[in-house]
């Protein structure tokens, strides 16, 4: 949805549906879209309408369009994705760049938002150091990443995830350590969890994430799974300080 609650319906609109990015308007992607969307809503509540905001790894573009700011830079490495953002989201400024070397001046922005991106980065510490470099003193980093302990149960630290788009997945202690090494202060890490409706479904049917992975792999969606996934909204998720069982880790740090 847009910030005023209106639905975003164009979907990928020509961008390849590789599974690496999600977008509004895709019925079998509604769970993942909502899981991203709630993090953007959380981020928006922590930003000023007067600031300069960078969305690092902006993807399809719906996310940075939801953030407040007098200037919203949406950085992505893919030229076609940036062209898509330019066509559909005129209020943001797409920037084609590698996140390892942001073409942004030192201490020139007020916030860096990077949601579900860290797990895709070959050098996560280098990326976070870049985010720290471009932030003004007192500027804020807002970050989410899948919790390795629940996203890939049994996967050890540093092991290659099964998801072909993920380089590495992290636990809360690793995220906190990376932010500290990159020079951030006032670091907080907490969790994004399934709310009561999703928990109730899982009590009968088992893991909703695992069911979707199986359905996407086999192409076979049960009626129950399809109905649930297509009905998920941001309201089906909640935040808490418990990180071990969280679906996503949510972190913030101050420059």
CATH number at residue 106: 3.40.50.150
Q: Is residue 212 a part of any domain in this protein? A: no
| Structural domains of the chain, count | 1
104 vs 25, higher pLDDT: 104
pLDDT value for 4:
35
Q: Is residue 246 a part of any domain in this protein? A: yes
Q: Is residue 200 a part of any domain in this protein? A: no
- Is residue 8 over pLDDT 70? no
Using 50, 70 and 90 to split pLDDT, how confident is the model at 20?
Answer: low
Q: Is residue 96 a part of any domain in this protein? A: yes
pLDDT digits (tens, 9 = 90+) for 120-173: 999 999 999 999 999 999 999 999 999 999 999 999 999 999 888 899 999 999
Confirm if 82 and 76 have CB atoms less than 8 A apart: yes
- Is residue 21 over pLDDT 80? no
Using 50, 70 and 90 to split pLDDT, how confident is the model at 198?
Answer: very high
* Contacts for 212-219: CB closer than 8 Å, 24+ residues apart: 212/28, 212/31, 215/28, 216/19, 216/28
Least confident segment among 42-56, 183-197, 202-216: 202-216
8 vs 64, higher pLDDT: 64
Using 50, 70 and 90 to split pLDDT, how confident is the model at 14?
Answer: low
Q: Tell me which residue of 71, 57, 73 sits closest to 21, measured CA to CA.
A: 57
pLDDT digits (tens, 9 = 90+) for 75-111: 999 898 899 899 989 999 999 999 999 999 999 999 9
Q: Is residue 130 a part of any domain in this protein? A: yes
Q: What percentage of the chain reaches a pLDDT higher than 70? A: 90
- The DSSP bridge pattern shows strands 248-254 and 185-194 to be antiparallel
Using 50, 70 and 90 to split pLDDT, how confident is the model at 252?
Answer: very high
Q: Is residue 86 a part of any domain in this protein? A: yes
pLDDT value for 19:
54
- Written in H, E and C, the secondary structure of the chain is CCCCCCCCCCCCCCCCCCCCCCCCCCHHHHHHHHHHHHHHHHHHCCCCCCCEEEEECCCCCHHHHHCCCCEEEEEECCHHHHHHHHHHCCCCEEEECCCCCCCCCCCCEEEEEEECCHHHCCCHHHHHHHHHHHEEEEEEEEEEEEEHHHHCCCCCCCCCCCCCCCCCCECHHHHHHHHHHCCCEEEEEEEEEECHHHHHHHHHHCCHHHHHHHHHHHCCCCHHHHHHHHHCCHHHEEEECCCCCCCEEEEEEEC
pLDDT value for 240:
96
Q: Tell me which residue of 46, 64, 44 sits closest to 54, measured CA to CA.
A: 64
Q: Is residue 151 a part of any domain in this protein? A: yes
- Is residue 7 over pLDDT 70? no
Q: Which domain does 105 fall in, by range?
A: 27-193+241-254
pLDDT value for 187:
98
- Is residue 12 over pLDDT 70? no
Confirm if 193 and 242 have CB atoms less than 8 A apart: yes
Q: Is residue 219 a part of any domain in this protein? A: no
Q: What is the mean pLDDT of the chain?
A: 90
């Amino acid at each position: 949805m847009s910030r005023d609650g209106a639905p975003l319906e164009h979907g990928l609109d020509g961008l390849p549906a590789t599974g690496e990015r999600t977008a509004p308007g895709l019925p079998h992607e509604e769970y993942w879209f909502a899981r991203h969307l709630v993090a953007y809503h959380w981020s928006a509540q922590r930003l000023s309408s007067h600031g300069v905001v960078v969305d690092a790894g902006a993807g399809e573009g719906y996310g940075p369009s939801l953030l407040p700011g007098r200037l919203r830079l949406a950085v992505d490495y893919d030229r076609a994705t940036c062209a898509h953002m330019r066509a559909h989201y005129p209020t943001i400024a797409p920037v084609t760049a590698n996140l390892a070397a942001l073409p942004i001046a030192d201490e020139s922005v007020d916030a860096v938002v990077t949601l579900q991106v860290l797990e895709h980065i070959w050098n996560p510490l280098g990326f976070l150091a870049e985010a720290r470099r471009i932030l003004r003193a007192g500027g804020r980093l807002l970050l989410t990443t899948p919790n390795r302990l629940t996203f890939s149960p049994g996967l050890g630290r540093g092991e290659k995830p099964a998801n072909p788009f993920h380089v590495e997945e992290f636990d809360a202690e690793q995220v906190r350590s990376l932010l500290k090494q990159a020079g951030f202060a006032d670091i907080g890490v907490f969790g994004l969890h399934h709310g009561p409706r999703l928990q109730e479904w899982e009590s009968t049917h088992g893991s909703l994430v695992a069911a979707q992975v199986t359905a996407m792999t086999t192409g076979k969606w049960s009626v129950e799974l399809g109905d649930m996934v297509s009905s998920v909204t941001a309201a089906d998720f909640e935040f808490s300080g418990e990180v071990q069982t969280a679906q996503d880790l949510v972190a913030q740090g101050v420059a």
